[in-house]
Amino acid sequence: MNKPTVLIVEDDPPVRNLMTVTLQANDYKFITSSNAESAIMQASSHNPDIVLLDLGLPDMDGIDVIKKIRTWSNMPIVVISARSEDSDKIEALDAGADDYLTKPFSVEELLARLRAISRRLAAIKYESQTSVLKNGNITVDFAAGCAYKNGEEMHLTPIEYKLLCLLSQNIGKVLTHTFITDKIWGDSTESSLASLRVFMATLRKKLEVGDKSQYIQTHIGIGYRMLKVE
Ligand code: CA
C-alpha cells in the first residue's frame, strides 16, 4: 500500500514544523492547516487518508472539527492535544476521533500511530472485499456469524461474538465504554458497564494466550482497542 496522505491541523508553528519534518523524512505525503475552517475545507477537497488534529485551534474547537468531518467521512482522525484528562479524551473519541496522542509527544510514537492506522486501512479494505477479517490467529467471518482461532471454531456466547465483531470492525480505534455499551445493550447504564467488564474478561480469555494482551488493549477509565496483530 502507498504511504497515506496526512492532513496536519496545528496552529502552533514549531509543533507543525516538527510534524511536517517527521512525515517528510518518512515519505508521507501531507498537507497542512493552521485553523479549523481551512482544515474542514482541506479535509473535504483533498480527501486525506489520515487527519492529525490539534484541539486548541484559533477559530473553533477541534471537537467541532471532528463532528463536522464525521457528517460526511470516516477518515481516521488522531487527536494530538495538550488536554490530558480522561474526560477530554472520551469527548474526542465519542465525537468520532479514532485515537489520541497527548502533547508533548515523541516522534517515534507519532510514527507508530501512523503505521497502526495504515495497517488498519489495509485491513478494512480487505474486509470490505471479503466480509472476513483476519487478525493474527483470529478470523471473524461476519457473513457466517462465527469466529475461528487457529482455524478452529471458537465457542463464543452471542454477546462475546457481538463484542468481537464490534472491536474487529473498529480495529485500531479506541472505543469508549459508552460507545460499546450503546452498541451492545442499547444503553450505557452502570449495569451495562458492569456487564461489559465481565464479557470483555471472558472474551479475552478465549482470544488471548496466557496473560498477554495481544489483541485487546485496555484504556483505563476510557475504553478498549483491538490491535492489529501480524
Ligand atoms: Ca493549538
Q: How many angstroms is it from 131 CA to the middle of ligand 1?
A: 40
Q: How many angstroms is it from 155 CA to the middle of ligand 1?
A: 48
Q: How many angstroms is it from 85 CA to the middle of ligand 1?
A: 16
Q: How many angstroms is it from 33 CA to the middle of ligand 1?
A: 11
Q: How many angstroms is it from 145 CA to the middle of ligand 1?
A: 45
Q: How many angstroms is it from 10 CA to the middle of ligand 1?
A: 6
Q: How many angstroms is it from 22 CA to the middle of ligand 1?
A: 18
Provide the pLDDT for residue 127: 64
Provide the pLDDT for residue 210: 77
Q: How many angstroms is it from 120 CA to the middle of ligand 1?
A: 27
Provide the pLDDT for residue 130: 72
Q: Which residue has the cell 495504515?
A: 118
> pTM of the entire structure?
0.81
Q: How many angstroms is it from 144 CA to the middle of ligand 1?
A: 47
Q: How many angstroms is it from 199 CA to the middle of ligand 1?
A: 39
Q: How many angstroms is it from 16 CA to the middle of ligand 1?
A: 10
Provide the pLDDT for residue 123: 72
In the chain, which residues have pLDDT < 70?
Answer: 1, 125-129
Provide the pLDDT for residue 112: 93
Q: How many angstroms is it from 101 CA to the middle of ligand 1?
A: 14
Q: Which domains does the chain carry?
A: 5-117 (3.40.50.2300), 130-226 (1.10.10.10)
Strands 50-53 and 77-81: parallel
